[in-house]
A and B are shown apart, each in its own frame.
Chain A
């Protein structure tokens, strides 16, 4: 294959990564933006989504699309419920103190990971894609499912954006993010908003995982990389900024796809992590964000 088509393939793979990453990072960004909580267990909610998708799709017989659709609906709901319980039982009692919540979410990370290992096992298990149509390009055939992942993610991102900017729920969330005390004074149930946002963040990660699991398999350690990449995206995009998150996700996903196709993936990760740490050190508001209040 020549360089051009090779690059196109790398870019397509990168876009699939970007699509999933944007959803996952959006969840992390919402939780940080509204609640000021750094959720270290976010990657584990992603993993739970994938593992549940496997469990649901194997439990349902018949056409693979049936199981997949069921997983796409049920898995995020279960993960959201788990997140809500965790938020009510732990984070709320800590008064959302930033440092205490990081320690607590690290604890959740270990608990979820270990439970997944105990009940799901150390194997990586595949989920059958709902359809296996290949789109034939002049140089190579490309999986139609992967393209549909990009479309689905774009659709979800636009929906989230519309909800945030055009609905009353979005208004309430933005008011809470802007100034939670004043929001409380105006009769907004800040406490319930926090619970809802934490569950929503986890559900976004779970949806992203269900979408990706027919491409890469479900494994109990699969939450680590999305967590780190989501951090990178959220930091580069500016904490709490939706547009910045999407732009950064496309940027990181594309460069990750292209760099790791031509260079060693470990080296790509080293460079990316180092660059992001430097961004955080020298430009803490992110590349696209405005200075924090």
Chain B
């Protein structure tokens, strides 16, 4: 796939990161904030892509992992008064624990049953948030207070509510996760995942323990999504149950399908494009779910490989 030209691939990724960095100084206020949000959500999509694109496991419950990070970090600050790095670690930890448990259970099923089981576990997670409304704030959600969202480094402190700091934090997270994904995809482990996606029985026959490889993929994917959720809580200061609802399990699927499953930059492109479409059409109609629905159907009908997947197939075979 990407064997021939690692240098080209790395150059492209560094170029994208540099472009995002440069945009920070050019973009006007509204788009500046929007792009920060898109980068955090693109991390969510990258986590989803890890499992769906590479391991070939279609989950309909990833809102649960995003929610684990969101609530893990948010509640650690609101209820326990933890500092920002500790809260981020708490969110990440929640994501790892939840994804490990869900992985152990859900991976006993395959195909359609896996999709339904993940959807049901996510529904249970969502209902639990509503049930324990005294702590979570229920469907009203909670605001993470601004004074708590400050990163202390000895004498200097970074206010995460400041637009520039927020943009740079989002970019830092995006960069780290993008490079991790690229490394995983290019590693031996990444190839085992693709082998499982293409033919699980044969991979098993070749001596690979497909269950533990898939479990690892669920946990990595869950951890990345939780990191995105935790960052969302810390950077945008709102923790609400709608982020754990079914809709937030469908959205990363849509973004990944749109950008191109099993491409490292597809998730960013898909998230960016979808936000752009919604932003443009919101001038004419408030019915953005209609656009999501139509996009999903058109994608599976005509572009099952997504934007980057199609480009890779037609022109640029070296895209990772």
Residues of A within 8 A of B (CB): 38, 90, 93-94, 98-100, 102-104, 106-111, 113-115, 117-118, 228, 231, 235, 264, 266-267, 269-270, 273-274, 276-278, 280-282, 284
Q: Is B130 in the interface zone, CB < 8 Å from A?
A: yes
Q: Which of B112, B121, B131 contacts A102 (CB 8 A)?
A: B112
8 Å CB contact of A277 from B121, B294, B295, B296: B121
Residue B109 is within 8 A (CB to CB) of chain A in the complex = yes
Contact with A along B118-148 (1 / 0, CB 8 A): 0011011001101100000000000000000
Cross-chain contact A228 with B117 (CB below 8 angstroms): no
**B301 touching A270 by the CB < 8 A rule?**
no
Q: Which of B58, B108, B124, B299 has the most CB of A within 10 A?
A: B124
Which residues of chain B come closer than 8 Å to A270, judged between CB atoms?
124, 127-128, 131
Instruction: Using known A-B contacts A99-B115, A104-B297, A107-B293, determine if residue A264 contacts B123 with beta carbons closer than 8 Å.
Output: no
Residues of A within 8 Å of B60, CB to CB, are 102
Q: Which of B90-124 contact A (CB under 8 A)?
A: 105-106, 108-109, 111-113, 115-117, 120-121, 123-124
Is there contact, CB below 8 Å, between B113 and A280?
yes
State the CA gap A267–B127 with chains docked (Å): 8
With A107-B295, A108-B293, A110-B296 in contact, is A118–B112 under 8 Å at CB?
A: no
Cβ-neighbour of A106 out of B113, B124, B250 (below 8 A): B250
State which of B14-22, B168-176, B206-214, B284-292 sits at the interface with chain A. Answer: B284-292
- CB neighbours (8 Å) of B111 from chain A are 98-99
List residues 57-74 of chain B with CB under 8 A from any CB of chain A.
Answer: 58, 60
- Tell me which residues across on chain A come within 8 A of B292, comparing CB atoms: 107, 110
**In the assembly, what is the distance between CA of A264 and CA of B113, in Å?**
28
**Alpha-carbon distance A263/B112, docked complex (angstroms):** 32
- Knowing A106-B296, A270-B127, A273-B123 touch, does A93 contact B112 (C-beta < 8 A)? no
B123 in contact with A266 (CB, 8 Å): no
Within 8 Å CB of A102, what residues of B? 58, 60, 112, 115
Q: Contact between B301 and A281 (Cβ–Cβ < 8 Å)?
A: no
B304 within 8 A of A: yes
**Of B115, B124, B293, which one neighbours A111 at CB under 8 angstroms?**
B293
**B84 CB within 8 Å of chain A:** no
CB-defined contacts of A267 to chain B, threshold 8 Å: 131
Report the separation of the CA atoms of residues A99 and B287 in the bound assembly, to the nearest whole angstrom: 26
Per DSSP, chain A at the interface is helix
* Cβ–Cβ contact B293 & A281, under 8 A: no
Instruction: State whether B120 touches A107 (Cβ < 8 A).
Output: no
Contact of A269 among B117, B127, B294 (CB under 8 A): B127
Sample 26 A-B pairs with CB under 8 A, ordered by A number: A93-B301, A103-B253, A103-B296, A103-B299, A103-B300, A104-B296, A104-B301, A106-B250, A106-B293, A106-B296, A109-B293, A113-B289, A114-B289, A114-B293, A118-B287, A235-B116, A264-B131, A270-B128, A274-B120, A277-B105, A277-B117, A277-B124, A278-B105, A280-B109, A280-B120, A281-B109
Most-contacted residue by chain B among A109, A277, A278 (CB, 10 A): A277
Contacts A38-B112, A114-B289, A281-B106; A99 near B124 (Cβ below 8 A)? no
List B contacts of A103 (CB < 8 A).
253, 257, 296, 299-300
